[in-house]
């Protein structure tokens, strides 16, 4: 009996010792990865920090007042800049959208504007695009407004002139990229295929996006000289529903790359007089442009889209 009692006591002591050991060992919990939202190395945070402010809407009245809207990092302060001058500043909302009214008229002439956003962390970010505005000295008509992208297609945001079009199909701009390739951009019916041909050979094709915007980059650099350009809008059935046809002169890439400030790339629908009026506000001064570019202009009443012209300094109005 005493032996049994000793065995039971030993078993109880052993059990209590095991419980004590278990209580002394900390319980291991599954490790949960910790994400520090403030960690600058986090991909999501890096994407937010690097987001640049952007223009969405630019409307400029003939008197130079404007309404401008766009997107930026939520909570950042967005400044509209002309060189180093601040034209206006507004905060971006929680959704990143912002808008501002420029009540002080913009100056006449050719202007280049960009955005500069200051984040809540104090980081300054410049917009990737610029806005080019041409306001006539007379302020008598709607200014030209173009959204420019380095090495990319320009986009006409406000156009005082009509471009060649066939219903919804429009060729808006022709740009030259840094490699000498040609970029065509315009509008068509949303979702439809658009193709560009030069001298009957396919240059490229794409589909207009949900807003009707299309951009085509030439597959191969076009040869220097005059080409017959054709733009087709094609329905899902394969039927061509709209066609544009116009001459296009491919300028020398070396000439384009070295184009100085004040040079102009002729847009579809322009005449020499229109270019002169756009730059100077006086159509009769087109002879000045002709004199500066006699090697390119064969007829002052006929110039091809795509030609690049140097624009000399404006002559005094009491000359000639």
pLDDT digits (tens, 9 = 90+) for 191-241: 999 999 888 888 999 999 999 999 999 878 888 888 888 888 898 888 888
Whether residues 128 and 168 share a domain: the answer is: no
Note the pLDDT of residue 98.
82
Number of domains forming the structure of the chain: 3
13: in domain: no
Mean of all residue pLDDT scores within the chain: 77
216: in domain: yes
Note the pLDDT of residue 276.
67
44: in domain: no
Whether residues 150 and 167 share a domain: the answer is: no
Note the pLDDT of residue 283.
60
Positions in the chain short of pLDDT 50: 1-4, 7-14, 16-49, 317-320
Whether residues 70 and 147 share a domain: the answer is: yes
Whether residues 148 and 171 share a domain: the answer is: no
Last residue of a domain, one of 120, 135, 160: 160
Whether residues 53 and 152 share a domain: the answer is: yes
Range of the domain at 175: 161-249
Note the pLDDT of residue 25.
42
Whether residues 77 and 132 share a domain: the answer is: yes
Domain CATH for 283: 3.10.350.10
What pTM did the predictor assign?
A: 0.57
178: in domain: yes
Whether residues 178 and 199 share a domain: the answer is: yes
16: in domain: no
Q: What is the pLDDT of residues 228-280, one digit of tens each?
A: 888 888 988 888 888 887 888 877 777 777 777 767 777 777 777 766 656 66
Whether residues 71 and 156 share a domain: the answer is: yes
8: in domain: no
Domain CATH for 93: 2.60.40.10
231: in domain: yes
Note the pLDDT of residue 136.
87
Last residue of a domain, one of 160, 187, 205: 160
Phi/psi at 45 (5° precision): -65, -40
26: in domain: no
Note the pLDDT of residue 110.
87
Whether residues 57 and 130 share a domain: the answer is: yes
């Amino acid at each position: 009996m005493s032996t049994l009692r000793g065995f039971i006591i030993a078993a109880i002591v052993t059990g209590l010792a095991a419980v004590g050991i278990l209580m002394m060992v900390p319980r291991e919990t599954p490790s949960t990865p910790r994400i520090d939202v403030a960690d600058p190395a986090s991909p999501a945070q890096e994407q937010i920090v690097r987001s640049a402010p952007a223009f969405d809407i630019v409307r400029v009245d003939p008197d130079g007042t404007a309404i401008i809207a766009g997107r930026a990092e939520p909570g950042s302060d967005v400044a509209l800049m002309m060189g180093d001058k601040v034209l206006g500043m507004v905060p971006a909302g929680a959704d990143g959208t912002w808008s501002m009214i420029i009540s002080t008229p913009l100056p006449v002439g050719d202007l280049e504007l960009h955005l500069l956003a200051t984040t809540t962390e104090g980081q300054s970010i410049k917009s990737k695009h610029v806005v080019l505005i041409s306001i006539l000295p007379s302020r008598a008509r709607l200014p030209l407004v173009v959204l420019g992208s380095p090495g990319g297609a320009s986009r006409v945001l406000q156009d005082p002139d009509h471009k060649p079009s066939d219903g919804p199909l429009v060729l808006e701009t022709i740009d030259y990229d840094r490699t000498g390739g040609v970029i065509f951009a315009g509008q068509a019916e949303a979702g439809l295929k658009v193709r560009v041909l030069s001298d009957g050979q396919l240059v490229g094709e794409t589909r207009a996006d949900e807003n009707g915007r299309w951009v085509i980059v030439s597959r191969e650099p076009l040869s220097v000289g005059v080409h017959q350009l054709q733009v087709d809008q094609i329905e899902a059935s394969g039927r061509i529903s709209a066609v544009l046809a116009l001459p296009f002169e491919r300028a020398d890439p070396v000439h384009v790359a070295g184009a100085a400030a004040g040079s102009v790339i002729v847009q579809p629908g322009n005449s020499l007089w229109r270019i002169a009026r756009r730059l100077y506000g006086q159509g009769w001064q087109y002879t000045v442009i002709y004199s500066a570019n006699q090697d390119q202009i064969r007829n002052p009443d006929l110039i091809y889209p795509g030609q690049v012209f140097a624009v000399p300094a404006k002559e005094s109005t009491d000359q000639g």
